[in-house]
């Protein structure tokens, strides 16, 4: 994309040669020729001029520069907008590493990059402009949409379905068997785990996160949701749109979560619970009951945040005053 | 297996052609020709008839169907029983992917499936009817029993020993070095981690779970135990038979756990502790002392569940009444 | 190394043939010919004599043995010292598995072992005496120092920089994108994650731990730090030297941590916080404020450990006495 085209996307003014081609974006320290970088003020502009970047996104008021500029109101926000424009729907160069193994019974779209050691089994369908990086494994009958990126060492069990613009980071495992057993006479029997994992459009899933397949229904992650590293989503969980779920969250079996929830790190949600829309759950909470839409909760068991904070305050108060309380209850009854 | 043979296993009555071959099992929505599915009532039976399944497990009282039926008292339980019968000891078709690397000094049993990119080092011994999926790595001198399934991207360090009927899900790491260091004069020295990981028969280990090798003894997971995704079992831990351990449990070094324990999600158990038989530990508990057999514990520090619940109730009570208590201790002594 | 050379390292006295070559170390049960083992007393010495080990490290006062001995004051400590001497800077035999894929634009040092299925991309620089095990993936422009060991199925995203004597265990992911988003009008935008992960010398990172790349700065792990399995270090975190971080710790974005900290298992540290030097954080704590150097903290929210313990004690006291307190506040006002 040319500088002048990028400038249109971020509603900015070009100062310099707008016909130079921009091929990537990076921070000031690591930018290479062809990259756009950004400078939030004059100091950063001086640093950026010394970088290898080919163009600098900076504030409207900035001085003239030795490099081409794009002047905008908010360089940081514009950087994000430009980044997404450059990256979200980037056309991929078709490539198939000779060490990859792709079944002849798989259907691979246009412009798909298949890295070294990738294994793609029978019946897999992959859309256009997808990147699958080294040593990832895609088992039978998985469906992957367009513009997805699968980083190295990812595992998709059979029948996993992934929408468009989905990012799976390194070591993610989707579709492993749920933790479902029946105890009978002291022995533990494995219950069949036959459902699918369905990941809707625009989802990003962090490194080494695991999402189990449904038992007899599906596990579903709603469009636009973002899940951090090392989370665990159990079988049959349904998560709505635009969830933000921080690291180490554990969502137990058959939980239903609405849209636009925000869940802090290390939260646990007990099985079969229903969480409404627009719920915010503070870090390290343990959710043990259904939660209404719009709630902000914290603690173990998780309660409205004001209540949990009062309990913390009251316990601190008692810690300081317990000798007085203790003396009081040992008083003789005044009657 | 033929329908009539399956019917014997679940003690059911065949209605239709019992000579049809059943090759798999699946839910109604995803069943394929050759599959057995199940229907818990007449409504589900109608759905199941529209599926591609070749046979339906349903209630004794069900109407005649266009597909062969097996009639039983409890289709769900029978489905599990049938599933285990079909899957637990299934004979595997011998296969060695040309991109796998198997040492000539490894001993591989009959009917072993070795997937693409699998690496098996010197001295490894593998039993019969084992499946090792794509890109898993089995290091020197590991021993794997019969009827095991190792999903993709699993890592076994050297000397790991695995019994029969063991399932390791994607991304599992067994036998990595324990977290053992000695601090001396401000520097941290690594203590040797030379023991093994020993996994007994019928164990299932969830995706991305890690189990460290023993330091100077072994880490042992007892027969029949089931460990969920993303758990961490530290060096020298010994777990008894039939444990059920939910996601994110962290069991610190040299803990000993009896048989038939149930551990909720996100539980931590401090190092060197002893946990008895038949113990139940509630989710998010932090165990800081030895626990007697039969205990049901919860909280941080983990105590008998009734006590932890009373403490929660008492704190709620104080939250509501602390102004009255506060007023009381500020009263002049009535004497 | 010969027995007599090892004896010098641990300041011990040889009893027997000091010219025998020692090629490894192991516990009594698993030692093989060529191995050094150790025996802390006469009983263990008898066991060790029956092992396959070629030499026994034991106490100064021990009796004569059928095997060569090295007599020292503290066999356990000397075993560690010997182990580090034998392992820390071991020269590696140059090896490149035919199934590995190493870019011609990568620079590989002397005595590097590259395992089966390893993928090394353009611009990667690797020092001397490095082992990279099967199916690990090293993306563009990573730099790896000397004497590093990378276990199987590890993923390094582009630009990750690793010092000397670093150990990365199985399934580690370094350099994945941080969890950075901007919500605007109900939609979630991904903020660019363009920084690096920098791992200094002598760091060890446990299995399946993930460390995200910086957003616009770098994520840095200080020299000598040891991180257990299944930890998550978010973008832009800076950790000082010699940290000990137990399993399941989650350190949120842009946290700064001093030197010589010790962090228990399942601890969470909130974003943007500053933790001083020599801080100790108890297991399962949730840190919600900056922490001064030298503090020992515990609980949620994490406070000085004595205060958290008093709160626990006071709550236990109230649990036992709340009926008396309740009766007291319901008394008629004595006035």
Report pLDDT digits (tens) over A205-228.
999 999 999 998 899 999 999 999
Burial class (CB in 10 A: 0-12, 13-18, 19+), A11: exposed
CA A53: distance to chain centroid?
29
For A190, which of B204, B247, B283 is closest by C-beta distance? B204
Question: A286, A179, B267: which is closest to B279 by C-alpha?
Answer: B267
Question: C292, C202, C230, C249: which is closest to B186 by C-alpha?
Answer: C202
Residue C327 Ramachandran class (φ > 0 left, ψ -120 to 50 alpha, else beta): alpha
Q: Quick check: C138 pLDDT over 60? A: yes
pLDDT on residue C216: 80
pLDDT on residue C84: 79
The percent of residues above 70 in pLDDT, for chain B, comes to 98
The pLDDT tens digits of the residues spanning B173-216 come to 999 999 999 887 788 988 889 889 999 999 999 999 999 999 98
Using the beta-carbon criterion (under 8 Å), do A176 and B207 form an inter-chain contact?
A: yes
Question: A303, A292, A218: which is closest to A254 by C-alpha?
Answer: A218
Nearest-neighbour CA in chain A from B12: distance (Å): 19
Low-confidence ranges of chain A (pLDDT < 50): none
Cα dihedral B257/B261/B266/B268 (nearest 10): -20
Q: How many CB pairs under 8 A join A and B?
A: 175
- List the single range of B109-118, C13-22, C82-91, C213-222 with lowest mean pLDDT: C82-91
Per-residue confidence band for C88, with pLDDT thresholds at 50, 70 and 90:
low
What would the 3-class secondary structure string for B208-249 be?
CCEEECCCCCCEEECCCCEECCCCEECCCCEECCCCEECCCC
Mutate to test the interface with A, among C114, C232, C267, C312 (most CBs of A within 10 A): C232
Cα dihedral A268/A274/A278/A279 (nearest 10): -40
- Please tell me which residue in B113, B169, B232, B235 is annotated as part of the active site: B235
Q: Which residues lie below 8 Å from residue C332, measured CB to CB, with a gap of 6+?
A: none
For C207, which of B135, B176, B250 is closest by C-beta distance? B176
Using the beta-carbon criterion (under 8 Å), do A315 and B318 form an inter-chain contact?
A: yes
What is the pTM assigned to this prediction?
0.90
Chain C residue numbers touching B270 (CB-CB < 8 A): 283
For B244, which of A181, A195, A230 is closest by C-beta distance? A181
d(CA A103, CA A111): 17
Using the beta-carbon criterion (under 8 Å), do A135 and C135 form an inter-chain contact?
A: yes
pLDDT on residue B152: 98
Using the beta-carbon criterion (under 8 Å), do B117 and C117 form an inter-chain contact?
A: yes
Q: Quick check: C30 pLDDT over 90? A: no
The pLDDT tens digits of the residues spanning A258-280 come to 999 999 999 999 999 999 999 99
Using the beta-carbon criterion (under 8 Å), do C319 and B311 form an inter-chain contact?
A: yes
pLDDT on residue B89: 59
Structure tokens at C301: 């929210």
Domain spans in chain A, listed from the N-terminal domain onward: 3-87, 95-304
Structure tokens at B15: 């209605």
Nearest-neighbour CA in chain A from B25: distance (Å): 8
In terms of DSSP bridges, do strands C296-298 and C303-304 run parallel, antiparallel, or are they unpaired?
antiparallel
A169 in active site? no
pLDDT on residue C29: 80
Using DSSP, state whether A33 is helix, strand or coil.
coil
The widest CA-to-CA distance across chain A, in whole angstroms, is: 94
Per the prediction, chain C carries an average pLDDT of: 94
Nearest-neighbour CA in chain B from C316: distance (Å): 7
Looking at chain B, which residue has its C-alpha nearest residue A315? Answer: B315
Mutate to test the interface with B, among A122, A169, A300, A306 (most CBs of B within 10 A): A300
Looking at chain B, which residue has its C-alpha nearest residue C35? Answer: B194
Q: Quick check: C335 pLDDT over 80? A: no
For A321, which of B115, B169, B329 is closest by C-beta distance? B329
Structure tokens at B190: 């690594």
Q: Residue C328: enclosing H or E segment and its boundaries? A: helix C305-330
Using the beta-carbon criterion (under 8 Å), do B217 and C27 form an inter-chain contact?
A: yes
Pick the CATH number of B3-87 from 3.60.10.10, 3.40.1390.10, 3.40.50.720, 3.40.50.300: 3.40.1390.10
Q: Find where tokens 């769900």 sit.
A: B76
Per the prediction, chain A carries an average pLDDT of: 94
Burial class (CB in 10 A: 0-12, 13-18, 19+), C96: middle
Mutate to test the interface with A, among B101, B134, B155, B244 (most CBs of A within 10 A): B134
- Tens place of pLDDT per residue across chain B (335 aa): 899 999 999 999 999 999 999 988 888 888 899 999 999 899 999 999 999 999 999 999 999 999 999 999 988 889 988 887 877 656 899 999 999 999 999 999 999 999 999 999 999 999 999 999 999 999 999 999 999 999 999 999 999 999 999 999 999 999 999 999 988 778 898 888 988 999 999 999 999 999 999 998 899 999 999 999 999 999 999 999 999 999 999 999 999 999 999 999 999 999 999 999 999 999 999 999 999 999 999 999 999 999 999 999 999 999 999 898 988 888 765 55
Using the beta-carbon criterion (under 8 Å), do C248 and B252 form an inter-chain contact?
A: no
Structure tokens at B268: 């931590």
Cis before C301 (ω within 30)? yes
Using the CB atoms, write b or e for A100-131: b if 16+ within 10 Å: bbbeeebebbebbbbbbbbbbbebbebbbbbb
The answer to whether the C3-87 and C95-304 domains have the same CATH topology is: no
Q: Residue C266: enclosing H or E segment and its boundaries? A: none
Using the beta-carbon criterion (under 8 Å), do B326 and A307 form an inter-chain contact?
A: no
Kindly indicate whether the domain formed by C95-304 is annotated with CATH number 2.160.10.10.
Answer: yes
Using DSSP, state whether A211 is helix, strand or coil.
strand
Neighbours of C40 (CB within 10 A): 17
pLDDT on residue C117: 98
Helical H runs in B74-161? 75-87
DSSP code, position C289: S
Structure tokens at B274: 């002893």
The pLDDT tens digits of the residues spanning C303-333 come to 999 999 999 999 999 999 988 998 888 876 5
Using the CB atoms, write b or e for C130-155: b if 16+ within 10 Å: bbbbbbbbbbbbbbbbbbbbbbbbbb
């Amino acid at each position: 994309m040319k500088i002048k085209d990028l400038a249109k996307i971020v509603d900015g003014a070009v100062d310099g040669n707008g016909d130079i081609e921009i091929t990537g974006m990076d921070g000031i320290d690591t930018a290479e020729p062809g990259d756009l970088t950004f400078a939030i003020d004059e100091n950063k502009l001086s640093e950026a001029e010394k970088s290898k970047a080919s163009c600098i996104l900076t504030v409207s008021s900035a001085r003239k520069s030795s490099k081409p500029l794009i002047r905008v109101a908010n360089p940081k926000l514009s950087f994000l907008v430009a980044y997404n424009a450059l990256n979200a729907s980037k056309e991929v160069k078709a490539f198939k590493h000779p060490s990859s193994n792709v079944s002849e019974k798989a259907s691979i779209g246009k412009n798909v990059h298949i890295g070294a050691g990738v294994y793609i089994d029978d019946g897999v369908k992959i859309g256009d402009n997808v990147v699958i990086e080294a040593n990832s494994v895609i088992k039978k009958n998985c469906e992957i949409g367009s513009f997805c990126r699968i980083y190295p060492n990812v595992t998709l069990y059979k029948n996993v379905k992934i929408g468009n613009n989905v990012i799976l980071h390194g070591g993610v495992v989707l579709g492993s068997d749920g933790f479902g057993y029946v105890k009978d006479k002291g022995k533990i029997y494995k219950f069949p785990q036959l459902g699918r994992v369905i990941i809707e459009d625009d989802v990003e899933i962090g490194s080494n996160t695991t999402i189990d397949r449904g038992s007899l229904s599906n596990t579903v992650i709603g469009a636009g949701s973002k899940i951090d590293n090392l989370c665990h989503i159990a079988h049959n969980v349904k998560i709505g749109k635009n969830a933000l779920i921080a690291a180490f969250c554990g969502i137990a079996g058959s939980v239903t979560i609405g849209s636009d929830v925000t869940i802090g790190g290390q939260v646990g949600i007990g099985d079969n619970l229903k969480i409404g829309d627009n719920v915010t759950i503070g870090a390290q909470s343990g959710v043990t009951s259904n939660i209404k839409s719009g709630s902000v909760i914290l603690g173990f068991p998780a309660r409205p945040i004001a209540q949990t904070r009062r309990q913390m305050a009251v316990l601190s108060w008692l810690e300081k005053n317990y000798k007085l309380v203790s003396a009081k209850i040992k008083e003789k009854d005044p009657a």
